[in-house]
Structure 1
Amino acid sequence: MVRQKKNWDEDDVRINKSRQFGSSNKTRPRTKDRPDYSKAQSATIIEVDRGRVQCLIESGANKTIITAMKARELGKKSVVVGDLVSVVGDISGTEGSLARVVSVLARKNSLTRTIDDHANDERVIVANVDQIAIVIATTNPEPREGFVDRALVVAYDQGIEPIIIMTKQDLANGDEFLETYKDLEIKVFKIDKSSDLGKLQKTLANKITVLIGHSGVGKSTLVNNLLESSKNKSVAVGDDSKHRATGDVNEVTGRGRHTSSSAIALPLSSSFDGENFGWIIDTPGVRSFGIAHIQPSRVISAFPEFTKAISHCPKNCSHNEATCALNDWPGFTNQNLARLESLRRVLSVE
């Protein structure tokens, strides 16, 4: 069947009335102009709660806590505690005021994990930190090398100083477990509920430290004791309700129950201008800490004594194979070799 050609005329043309010249309903013309954020104020994210965030604005000696919402263009998971951001709008900090986060500045580092070791499902926990405190218990729940090793891999990858805090010293000593990490020269603090936290506080002073650990290890109890010791329960957030709830361990599974649902930054000083001012970032207890997104070469490069040797490694070297240049590198001391053995064990964690 041959389709006959139709003779078209002007009645067959559909006209969009909203675009007719002179129409009162014409649409707004497109523009390449973008909002001017040149006068945006810099701030630091100290808490993320659903669609709203708490930000700290510092201007000389003046420090203000404000509430803000994220600009839509930033996306759902675009900001985390520790992020440096730009904010516009009402930054007075008065009750009921609301500002807007319009951009996130480049991060110097970030603490990330992958879910079930899927490299494409990377989650950022916090950003721009100086130290990571890996909190484990002597028992109840039992300390796990796999978790500590994974946390160390991320720390070395991002240039974050790791420390280990072992709680519940009143139940066991944990020395045998800690022996595994002695050659990596990591600071270790062994405490219980009644411990003097003076030495730990000195290590936290003038630093931004993120605390991570499994549920039930006593992390929230530790945070509360640190805040009590600094006599500064609520400078950053305004009321005592921000003290972290504490929980216990499930007797059936041996795992802790989640008591913290979001990360929050808390100051460790009697005032913002305290001599030993520092921040701790408490995070929810984690049950999985995947490191599929980490490259072994970046971890090894965090150790200066191995820098020259790894430059002679084969391409894509895992640093745990027969052809690795680290195997027979001249000049390594026994201490170097001990640290290398420990580091390779950490890198081989699955």
Structure 2
Amino acid sequence: MPEGKIIKALSGFYYVSNENGVVQCRGRGIFRKNKITPLVGDEVVFQAENDKEGYILEVKERKNELVRPPIANVDQAILVFSAVEPEFSTALLDRFLVLVEYNHIKPIICITKMDLTNDEQKSRLDGFAGDYRNAGYEVIFTSSETSEGLEKLSPHIEGKISVFAGQSGVGKSSLLNAIRPDLDLKTDVISSHLGRGKHTTRHVELLSIKNGLVADTPGFSSLEFTDLEVEELNACFPDIAQISEDCKFRGCLHMAEPKCAVKTAVVSGTLPEYRYEHYKDFLLEIKDRKPRY
């Protein structure tokens, strides 16, 4: 049986790329029975008599998967955040980072719309970028209008499966258009009333860019930690995880425990206070999460 990769999912159809082209497939009923939903990025086994009437027979084992956006087997997540319009948010960025870290996907932070910033905003963003770089993250400043930073971002895309993710309206599609102009992805303006963008991307699709595959995904405004457990949150903050090795108690949650190295690092300025505050907020959110039955 032929094998291929799902590069687009739309209206119940899965478009499978293989050595002979792209085949439009449906999923067999067994997937619904076994509660398996094929995802963009899945390696699959399929059968087809032509390029319009194929059926997916098997989904190969995944190395990772995301729920929002729905995609599998990702090498890295390029988290696109705007400098302004909408305003840069460390709280939202940390939510994305936690989700990506939990799924063992390498994150790259991309701050775009730098052409719209003034000197004060640039200085503030430089400070945040320094904090995240100290935590071990790659941070790239870009602009779709001036092409700033595109030469730094493009090499990261080559030979990888990347997911472009971020809040709606931050300019993901504009950035992809700037990297590969012939894509002509639909973009939209920010709502002045709501301060956020419309969802211009309606589905997940893998696009061929710079000898890699990039998923342009629907934007979204919130993330929930549906599977993350309290004990796992520490590892999703690499800077906190490293400092926590010096905590007196193994399994320290950095809340009320004595001789906590993380709390000491906040006081000394080694760990940015906002990172610690976000950690505490997320921890309480996970604790307060309603149990699933």
Measured after TM superposition, the shift of residue 291 of structure 1 is 1.8
1:149·1:349 contact (CA, 8 Å) conserved in 2?
Answer: no
2:65·2:71 contact (CA, 8 Å) conserved in 1?
Answer: yes
Measured after TM superposition, the shift of residue 296 of structure 1 is 4.5
Secondary structure (helix, strand or coil) at the match of 2:67 reads strand
Distance in 1 between residues matched to 2:23 and 2:157, nearest whole Å:
25
Equivalent position of 1:49 in the other structure = 10
Equivalent position of 1:195 in the other structure = 147
Equivalent position of 1:294 in the other structure = 228
Count of residues in correspondence between the two structures? 267
Measured after TM superposition, the shift of residue 186 of structure 1 is 1.3
Measured after TM superposition, the shift of residue 152 of structure 1 is 0.4
1:181 aligns with 2:132: yes
Q: TM-score, normalised by structure 1?
A: 0.67
Corresponding letter in the other structure for 2:161 = I
Measured after TM superposition, the shift of residue 280 of structure 1 is 0.9
| Larger deviation, residues 253-262 vs 78-87 | 78-87
Q: TM-score, normalised by structure 2?
A: 0.79
Equivalent position of 1:65 in the other structure = 22
Distance in 2 between residues matched to 1:132 and 1:324, nearest whole Å:
36
Distance in 2 between residues matched to 1:161 and 1:324, nearest whole Å:
33
Output aligned runs, 1:192-341, within 5 Å.
192=143, 193-196=145-148, 197-228=150-181, 233=182, 243-269=184-210, 277-301=211-235, 303=238, 305=242, 313-314=250-251, 319-323=253-257, 327-328=260-261, 338=270
- Larger helix percent: 2
Distance in 2 between residues matched to 1:224 and 1:311, nearest whole Å:
50
Equivalent position of 1:154 in the other structure = 99
Secondary structure (helix, strand or coil) at the match of 1:141 reads coil
Summarize the Cα distance change of 1:65–1:167 in structure 2 as closer, same or farther, 3 Å threshold.
same
Equivalent position of 1:347 in the other structure = 279
Q: What whole-Å deviation, never above 9, does each CA across 1:175-194 have from its counterpart, x for those lacking one?
A: 42434524312111111122
1:213·1:286 contact (CA, 8 Å) conserved in 2?
Answer: yes
Measured after TM superposition, the shift of residue 262 of structure 1 is 0.6
Summarize the Cα distance change of 1:310–1:102 in structure 2 as closer, same or farther, 3 Å threshold.
farther
Equivalent position of 1:80 in the other structure = 39
Measured after TM superposition, the shift of residue 258 of structure 1 is 1.4
**Aligned equivalent of 2:63, options 92, 108, 113:** 108
Secondary structure (helix, strand or coil) at the match of 2:153 reads helix
Measured after TM superposition, the shift of residue 51 of structure 1 is 0.8
Corresponding letter in the other structure for 1:52 = F
Summarize the Cα distance change of 1:252–1:88 in structure 2 as closer, same or farther, 3 Å threshold.
same
1:132·1:212 contact (CA, 8 Å) conserved in 2?
Answer: yes
What's the % identity of the aligned pairs? 26
Secondary structure (helix, strand or coil) at the match of 2:97 reads helix
Corresponding letter in the other structure for 1:131 = Q
Secondary structure (helix, strand or coil) at the match of 1:101 reads strand
**Aligned equivalent of 1:134, options 73, 79, 84:** 79
Measured after TM superposition, the shift of residue 109 of structure 1 is 1.1
Secondary structure (helix, strand or coil) at the match of 1:66 reads strand
RMSD: 3.1
Summarize the Cα distance change of 1:181–1:307 in structure 2 as closer, same or farther, 3 Å threshold.
closer
**Aligned equivalent of 2:53, options 98, 101, 109:** 98
1:150·1:349 contact (CA, 8 Å) conserved in 2?
Answer: no
Secondary structure (helix, strand or coil) at the match of 2:192 reads coil
Measured after TM superposition, the shift of residue 320 of structure 1 is 2.3
2:41·2:74 contact (CA, 8 Å) conserved in 1?
Answer: yes
> What are structure 1's unaligned runs of at least 5 residues?
1-39, 114-123, 234-239, 270-276
